[in-house]
Structure 1
Amino acid sequence: MTRPVLYFVRHGETEWNAQGRLQGQRDTPLNARGIGQAAEAGRRLGYLVGEARDRLAYVASPLERTRHTMEGLRTALGLDPAAYATDPRLVEIGFGAWEGLTWSGLRRDEPGRMAERDRDRWNYRPPGEEAESYEMVLARLRPVLDGLTGPTVMVAHGGVARAVMVGLGLVSREEAPHLEILQGRVLVLDGGRRWA
């Protein structure tokens, strides 16, 4: 099945990103750098799509960092910053009890759990009620991907990007958790190709 092109943007930087903290589904705002990254993503997208910007669908995770990235992006495109949809299925992977912690701290304090995660990053689910594996994220994203009817700009999260790329058949489950998804960049996911 041919899918429409998806312009995926990871939200701009937050203070928790700068500190290396796992945000997951916590609602954290963009910092000054993140605000700049949102505007830069809009400029890059404008270069890619030109006049077609008015004909794209725009959807974001409802978390503050993604909404503000979308609004900065749309402002840079010369579009109404508020004229986009949100979808709760686009929220970041839930890290459960690990949210707010750092990977270095977890490696020091939870070596057993981290070793278990390293054996199968795609299916590993951290401790805590709200925690998810990437496979669980992909399950909630499949209806979103299947519902895309035309070229779409999606502003979401790094974990969501990894699951989306697996769902679109662009990377394997083994490769996806190791991908670096840069903030404020535009990933063009087009047919069987991905490029930034």
Structure 2
Amino acid sequence: MKRKTIYLIRHGETNYNRQGIVQGSGVDSDLNDMGLAQALAFFQAYQHVSFDRIYTSKLKRTIQTVQPFLDLGLPYESHEGLNEISWGIMEGKVPNSYDNEYYRNLIDSWADGQTSVSTENGESPEQVMERQKPVIDLILSRPEEKTILVAMHGRAIRILLSWLMKQPLSHMDQYEHSNLCLYKLSYSYDTNEFTIELSNDSTHLLTLALA
């Protein structure tokens, strides 16, 4: 049975994450010291894996997250289709009470199945899914790449996992995530189906808690 193994990670922590500022695709922030430490901890835990290629979004925080692997000279591509959702007018803001209500209403509408609704000047989950699909098609068109590493973003991962698992996008919030968490996926070329082997795993970060 021909299979592909995908290590799907969320980027490490940024100061915007720590401060509760909305980033989306419009804020191209760097990892902070904790994020860099998380990236190194993940590298130390998984440097033994023979990744055939690394895929990231176009945003710096995903590229910096996998930089220790890139320093080994591994093949690498960045794709805008893997970018975080655009939160439109919410980006770059510390949520206040109005923004929290706006955000809560938006998330509730998505959970109710209105996944074509977008933020003002931003994207809807359905729009994100449509730009993700060509990248996933490209990845699956390369069966010689048996094991790959993909670095993405929280909301984008929720959207991706929903449609990969053939679920409505309204179910996306079941896929929890934290900075530098790992979802390990297996894809079967025989059945054209994905399975999730690890979910929101962060055991590789335990060394940071002990430091």
Q: Name the TM tier (shorter chain).
A: 0.7 to 0.9
TM-superposed CA distance for 1:28, in Å, is 0.4
C-alpha RMSD of the superposition = 2.3
Percent sequence identity is 26
Match of 2:73 in 1: 80
Report the secondary structure of 2:105's partner residue. helix
TM-superposed CA distance for 1:7, in Å, is 0.8
The amino acid that maps onto 2:84 is: E
- Contact conserved, 2:183 with 2:196, CA < 8 A, in 1? no
Which of 99, 109, 125 aligns to 2:98? It is 109
Q: Which aligned pairs between 1:1-196 and structure 2 lie closer than 5 A? A: 4-25=4-25, 26-46=27-47, 49=49, 52-53=50-51, 56-75=52-71, 79-80=72-73, 83-103=75-95, 105=96, 108-110=97-99, 111=101, 114-121=104-111, 122-128=115-121, 131-148=122-139, 149=142, 150=145, 151-169=147-165, 172-190=168-186, 191-195=194-198, 196=201
The amino acid that maps onto 1:114 is: R
Report the secondary structure of 1:7's partner residue. strand
TM-superposed CA distance for 1:45, in Å, is 2.4
Deviations 1:3-54 (A, max 9, x none): 622111111100000011110011101100000111112223235x2xx23x
Report the secondary structure of 1:175's partner residue. helix
Separation of aligned partners in 1, 2:104 and 2:80: 28
| Total equivalences in the alignment | 181
Report the secondary structure of 1:27's partner residue. coil
- Contact conserved, 2:158 with 2:176, CA < 8 A, in 1? no
Q: Give the gaps of 5 or more residues in structure 1.
A: none
Q: Give the gaps of 5 or more residues in structure 2.
A: 187-193, 202-211
The amino acid that maps onto 1:124 is: V
Separation of aligned partners in 1, 2:117 and 2:46: 34
- Contact conserved, 1:39 with 1:72, CA < 8 A, in 2? yes
Separation of aligned partners in 2, 1:171 and 1:40: 32
- Contact conserved, 1:10 with 1:182, CA < 8 A, in 2? yes
Report the secondary structure of 1:80's partner residue. coil
Separation of aligned partners in 1, 2:106 and 2:83: 25
Deviations 1:46-103 (A, max 9, x none): 35x2xx23xx21111121111111103445xxx137x521112111100010001244
User: What is the TM-score when the length of structure 1 is the normalising length?
Assistant: 0.81
